[in-house]
Every structure is written in structure tokens, then in C-alpha cells.
Structure 1
Amino acid sequence: MPRVLIVDDHPVVAEGWGRIVRAAGACEVFSAHSPLTGLRAYREERPDLLIVDLSFGCNKFAGVKLIRRLRRHDPEIPVLVFSMHRSAMIARRALEAGSNGFVNKDAPPEEIDQAFRSLSQGECYVSADIATKIALLNRPGSTSAASALTPRELEILGFVAEGKSYREIAQEVCISYKTVTNTCYALRSKLNATNMPELVVKAIEYFDG
């Protein structure tokens, strides 16, 4: 019976997931409310499976960074990502980072149960609607400018979608104002946005698509 660590900054969500995975067979469930405390809890508790949110506060990809760091230490532990986003690009990013599964936060309990059981048995699981979208992304001749974004560009795009100013983004990411403006200029070019308002629209479409 697996020991499970849930990393999410919403205690009510973490508690709900905890009830579901206990009913599905988890013998112990731990929780952490940030990527940093999640990594610390992983090292201390050595769980058999992780359930990780992607977004923490305004950082839409903090969970991806956590998975990448985790994979440097443990390439084997099953990691299930759950997110409010339905974007195939976001799901693919999470899978490329090393997650074994992806489900939406509004998935019914029976789907969460199925995802948990699949990963517990060494299998992968992706919500059917997301799997279809990913398959369409991978079809011959399909290209997406957003797929070429770097991790830093993707992180900044997340803040753009939140309506953050250049100065606010610089403070959030701990980089210079000039770096933010240069990155947003590159994003406008890559995403074919002629101005900042268009980039905001593109960013929102990316995360909600």
C-alpha cells in the first residue's frame, strides 16, 4: 500500500485528494503547501507516490520546477500532476518534466481514483480530453509557436496572463526589469503579437486552451 505526498497550496484541495487516495488504498498521506516544503517532505518521508499541483500563487509553473528537481534525485517515483489548466501544451510540459500522469482539478473522484491506481501499478494516466489534445499537437504537420518557448519565457508568460506589469514580473522572478522587457519582446515575436495587449490575450489563450 503506497505512502503518498500531496503538494498543493490549497489545504482544502489537499484534504480532498487525501480522502480519495486513502479510499483507493493509500496507507499514509502527507501534505506540503509549497514546492520547497514539498521537496523537504519528500526527502524526510520518502513516499511511494507524489501528487503535485502545477501552480503556486502567481507562479503557474512552480510545480514543473519541483518535478525537474525531484527527477534529478529520483527518476523512478511516480508523479501525478493535477492542474486547473486544460491546455495540452501545459500538460505536455508537465509530462516532459518527468510526471507520469496529468488530471484536471475538476475531475470526478472516480477519475482521480483511476489515475491514482494506475500510477500505483506502475502505469501512466492522462485525462482523456487532454490526451486527445496532446495527440492532435503531435500529428504530422502540426506546429505551435508556443512549443518553442524556453522555461523562462513560459514562466514570464504565466505572469503576463495574470496581468502583471514588467516591474511586478521582475520582482516575482528576481530578474532585472530590462530582462523582462526583452523577454516579453521575444514572446511577442514568437507568438505573433503586435503589442502588449495582444500578448496578454495570447497568454490567456495559452493557459486556458
Structure 2
Amino acid sequence: MPSVLIIDDHPVVAEGWERIARASGACDVYSAASPLAGLRAYRAHRPDMIVLDLSFGDNKMAGVRLLRRLRLHDARTPVLVFSMHRSPIIARRALEAGCNGFVNKDSPPEEINAAFSTLSSGGFYVSPAIATRIAMLSRPSSPGAEIRLTEREMEILGMLAAGRSYREIASAICVSYKTVANVSHSLREKLKASSIAELVVKAIDYFDTA
């Protein structure tokens, strides 16, 4: 994890993330206190990971708009949303916009560290409490009742929903990285998910209704 960009308008929060990033091996840590400054910093430094707040001043969803803008040009850089919002609707919007993880600012330190570590190794992470509340949202088009998955697909889908990376899944179930990638591609097609982050949301849906 050579470089990390922290986009948050609270200096204490930014300093805390800098300590976490450097403890995890980041060589360069950049900070930005607004969405515009964050976009400029991203273009200037092309970081390997982004930690993003959602609220800036009175604009409670500025981070989601920035995330969507970033994803128009970059679908691969891991983005961890670190937000005060506990609403599952806002969390789901952030996931649908393309973030790779969502953790609350009042989460315990071990959960915050776990989220950062998981994304830095290529995985996906959603705070358990938020994941449960997302699963409880009304879903008129939930895929669980109408789509059949193989045992292998269900196994990999469950591990993706738990935040495991392709490499971790391949090691855990003794298959190749390519196999996991191919199954994940098949899952995205079956569940009509445009990204792995969206697939995580649909995985929660699937296991809640299957």
C-alpha cells in the first residue's frame, strides 16, 4: 500500500487515518479537506487507496457525488467510506456509487483497522451493523427467490459478502485465482451487478431471502 489519500474535513479524523495508513505500510499519505481538493489530489497523486467522508459542511452527500465522479474515470482504486451516517439507505447509495467498503466513525478501533486492512489487500468491507440494516430494507426486486446459484457460486458469493479478496477466497477453497474471478464475473451477470461492490449488496439480499 504505497500511497493513501484521505478526503475528510475533520483534521483529527485525517490525522487518525494517517497513523493507520503509515502503520499499515503506506509510504505516502495525502490529505484533502473538501471534495474539490480531493479530486485535485487524486489527479495529482493517483493514490493506491482512498478514504472518503460523505458529509462536507452542510452537504451531506457530497462524498457520494465525488465517488461517482471518480468512478467515471477509475473503477479500480479501492475507496473506503468512513462516515458518521448510520442510515442503511445512505450506505447502500455509497456502495452503489462504487465504494469498496463502508465503516462508521463510531465503530470500535479494531473494526476500523479491519476495514482498512481488508481493502488494502483487495477485499471489500461493510460494518456488520450496517450490513444487517441494508439487508432489512424493502427490496421489491430481490434476486434471491428467482435466481438459482450453484453451490460453488453460493460459496464464493458468501465469502465476497464477508469482505474476502479473490486471493483469500482462492486459498480458502483451494481453487485458482482465475476460477474465483470467472465465478465472480458469472455472479455479476446473474445478479445484474455492474461491480463487485454492487455484488456485495446483492449478496446480502440473496442470503437474506434465499
Structure 2 residue 4 is matched with structure 1 residue 4: yes
Correspondences of 1:9-88 after superposition (within 5 Å): 9-88=9-88
Structure 2 residue 86 is matched with structure 1 residue 91: no
Distance in 2 (CA, whole Å) between partners of 1:135 and 1:31 is 33
Alpha carbons 1:21, 1:113 under 8 Å: kept = no
Letter in 1 for 2:9: D
Distance in 2 (CA, whole Å) between partners of 1:41 and 1:23 is 22
Q: In the TM superposition, what whole-angstrom CA distance separates every residue of 1:90-133 from its partner, at most 9, and x where no partner exists?
A: 10010011101000011222211111111111111000000011
Distance in 2 (CA, whole Å) between partners of 1:102 and 1:80 is 6
Q: CA RMSD in A?
A: 1.6
- Long gaps (5+) in structure 2: 143-210
Report SS of the residue matched to 2:71: helix
TM-score with structure 1 setting the length: 0.65
Distance in 2 (CA, whole Å) between partners of 1:17 and 1:45 is 17
Report SS of the residue matched to 1:137: coil
Letter in 2 for 1:113: N
Letter in 1 for 2:82: F
- Long gaps (5+) in structure 1: 143-209
Q: Percent identity of the aligned residues?
A: 72
TM-score with structure 2 setting the length: 0.64
Q: In the TM superposition, what whole-angstrom CA distance separates every residue of 1:141-192 from its partner, at most 9, and x where no partner exists?
A: 89xxxxxxxxxxxxxxxxxxxxxxxxxxxxxxxxxxxxxxxxxxxxxxxxxx
Letter in 2 for 1:126: V
Q: How many residues align?
A: 142
Correspondences of 1:1-209 after superposition (within 5 Å): 1-137=1-137
State which drifts further: 20-29 or 46-55: 20-29
Distance in 2 (CA, whole Å) between partners of 1:25 and 1:88 is 32
